[in-house]
Amino acid sequence: MRYLYIREIADLLGVSRDTIRIYEEQGLISPERDENGFRRYTEEDLERLIPVKFYRENAFPMKDLKRLMIQKTRLSSLELLEEQIKAERLELLRHKRNVERLELTRSYYQLGSGSFELCTAENAYRVSEKRKEYFDAIIDWFQVSREDSDKIVCYVNAEYDLKMSVEQPQWCYLIIKESEAVYLRRQDFMEGAELLPGGPALRATVHTERQFQDEKLLETACGWADSHGLRLQGSVHVRNLCISEENGQLKYTLEVVLPLTDGPDTAVISN
C-alpha cells in the first residue's frame, strides 16, 4: 500500500503541518501510524482531503466543514451549502461596496484648486447630533461607522456662523452627501435625517496644515463675492475630506462651502 507522511501531504496541499493536524482533530481524516508512531496517509485519506481542500479554497468555515462532510443526508448538506452561498454573496456585496467607497476617496485626492469657484452645492443630510466640540463629532464618526460600515463615507462637518467669530465652529456633526448615499444605494441614510439643502454657493477644496479653515480664506471668499456682486448668506460649512501625512506633517483636504443668496447674479452657476 502506498502512503505519504505529514510533511509530504502538507506540501501537496500547500498548507502547514499544523493545518493537517487540525483536519485530524476535526475528524476529517484518520491517518494510520507506523511502527515509530509517525502519521502516514493512505489513498482513502487523500480522497477525503479533496473536498476538504475544495471547500477551504472556497472560504467554507472550518467550524462548518466537519458538519458538511459528516452529514447523514444529502439534504442536510444542501442546507449548509445554501447557507454558505448566501454568506459568499453578502461578501461579494461587501467587496463591491468597498470598491465604491475607495473610488469616492480617490476623488478627494484628485481635488484641490485652492481657489473658490461658483457651484450649485448638492443636498446633504445631518446624520448625528450637533456637537459643540469637534472632538465629540469625531467620536460620533467612529461609533456610527462601527454600527454600519457604509457610514465611513460620512463627513465631519464644521459649521461656522458668518455673523460670529470664525475662529471656532459653532456646531460640529456628521453629514452624508445625497449623491454618495445614492451611489452606495443607501437612500435609507436620508430617511428621518435633517436635510441641509444645496443651492448657489462658493466652493473650494484646499490642502492645508490646519484642521479648520482660517480667517484669511474666508476674507478672500467674501472679497471675491463682493467684487462679483454676490452676497453670502447663512453658515460656512467645512468638511474634512481626507487626511494624509507629508514629510511628517499632517495635511488636511478640506471642502469649504459658502452659500450665496439666490439672485440674478447667481443664475449662471452650474456644477
Write the pLDDT tens digit of every residue in 62-96: 878 877 777 657 777 788 888 888 888 878 877 88
Between the CA of residue 61 and those of 91, 257, 270, what are the distances in Å?
13, 48, 52
Averaged confidence pLDDT in the chain: 82
| pTM confidence score | 0.59
How far, CA to CA in Å, does 192 sit from each of 22, 127, 128, 185?
Answer: 50, 9, 11, 16
DSSP state of 166: S
Taken as a whole, the chain contains a residue count of: 271
CA dihedral defined by 109, 113, 114, 116, rounded to 10 degrees? -120
Each residue's pLDDT tens digit, 187-212: 898 998 999 998 999 888 777 777 66
pLDDT in tens, 112-133: 556 677 888 889 999 999 999 9
3-state secondary structure of 200: strand
pLDDT tens digits, one per residue of 246-259: 777 777 778 888 88
Cα torsion through 210, 216, 220, 225, rounded to 10: 90
CATH number for the domain formed by residue range(s) 4-70: 1.10.1660.10
CA-atom Rg of the chain in angstroms: 29
pLDDT attached to residue 266:
39
State the Cα–Cα distance between residues 226 and 9, nearest whole angstrom.
78
The domain spans of the chain are 4-70, 111-266
- Say whether pLDDT at 162 is over 80: no
DSSP string, 213-265: --HHHHHHHHHHHHHTT--B-SEEEEEEEEEEEETTEEEEEEEEEEEB--SGG
Task: Give yes or no on whether 4-70 and 111-266 have one common fold.
Answer: no
Fold of 111-266: Multidrug-efflux Transporter 1 Regulator Bmrr; Chain A (3.20.80)
Find, among 158, 199, 86, the residue nearest to 78 by Cα.
86
